Structure 1
Amino acid sequence: MTEKEMNEAKKKYLTRYKKSHLKWLSLCEQEKSIRAEIEGARSPEITDMPRAAGTADLSDWMVRLETILEKINAAKRENYGIRAEIEERIIDMDDGIQSRILWLRYIDFKEWNDICTRIGYSWNRTHELHSEALRNFPLEKTVQKRIE
């Protein structure tokens, strides 16, 4: 595997947390939407008129809510596991600037301009340090195979 391919594999490994985090946020938004629909649902009217097909009652909404809550909990556990694994590898790096760049980019999801400002380096130097950080980032062959 070339150095470029190795760095791409490391980036893929590091971006797993962002993808997992965004999935969790999406599920939380869906939960809010379902709760809003439940709160906005009218109480059923007692009538002798037939009800239209496809009209959901409150129990249908509660089942949807319970399903989404289970998915949220599973995504949250997965998200925390991925983050802890990546954090541990970043923390174990020898160079403080390199680990800070990786932390800001892949854990805090900062843009490059913000990273440059926070670490006090130019755009070019920040990217050079990011490349060095990727070269020094520990990624075992078992992890490489798992993310490919």
Structure 2
Amino acid sequence: MNDEIRKENDRKKLFLWSYQDAIRDVSRLEIRLREVKQMRIIPAFVADGMPHGSGGTGDLSGYAAQLDSLERRYLKARYRRIRQLKAVTDRIEALTEQREKDVLTYRYILDMGWEEISVKMKYSWQHVHRIHASALRNLKM
């Protein structure tokens, strides 16, 4: 395989993996959002031996600003995920060969491993790779 074809295939794979990247972005933001909300519910215990006021909730403006910022980033990430799914699936569905569509969908949308795809499609691992190579050749960017 010459360098030009390899670079083109790498570019196509990067595009196809962009949906999984978007999923991971959303997941990380969900974790951060849960952590920020949990930190507000369970205040930190300060064991420094110094007297502290009781019953006060402290300043909520910083917390509210942080929560609002995270929620906005989360919504943008979810919207990006939806856009990436549409972009990737539109390109995959434009292929004419059904087996190529299946391999790309299993690999890049469902994030399945090669062995899992082989079993699902009832093809050898090598044959699945040949279908994948053909699908990358036929994928229009």
Aligned AA (2:7) = E
**Structure 2: how far apart are the matches of 1:118 and 1:46?**
59
Paired position in structure 1 for 2:70: 68
Q: What pairs with 1:126-145 in structure 2 (closer than 5 Å)?
A: 126-139=128-141
Listed as ranges, the gaps of 5+ residues in structure 1 are 48-55, 140-148
Q: How many equivalent pairs are there? A: 130
Paired position in structure 1 for 2:100: 98
Query: So what's the TM-score if we normalise by structure 2?
Result: 0.84
SS at match of 1:121: coil
Instruction: Tell me by how many angstroms 1:46 deviates.
Output: 5.3
RMSD: 1.9
**Structure 1: how far apart are the matches of 2:64 and 2:122?**
51
Aligned AA (1:45) = S
**Structure 2: how far apart are the matches of 1:18 and 1:57?**
38
Query: So what's the TM-score if we normalise by structure 1?
Result: 0.81
Aligned AA (1:112) = W
Paired position in structure 2 for 1:86: 88
Instruction: Tell me by how many angstroms 1:62 deviates.
Output: 2.2
Listed as ranges, the gaps of 5+ residues in structure 2 are 45-52
1:29 aligns with 2:31: yes
1:18 aligns with 2:27: no
Instruction: Tell me by how many angstroms 1:20 deviates.
Output: 1.5
Paired position in structure 2 for 1:113: 115
Paired position in structure 1 for 2:54: 45
Instruction: Work out the percentage of aligned pairs sharing the same amino acid.
Output: 22
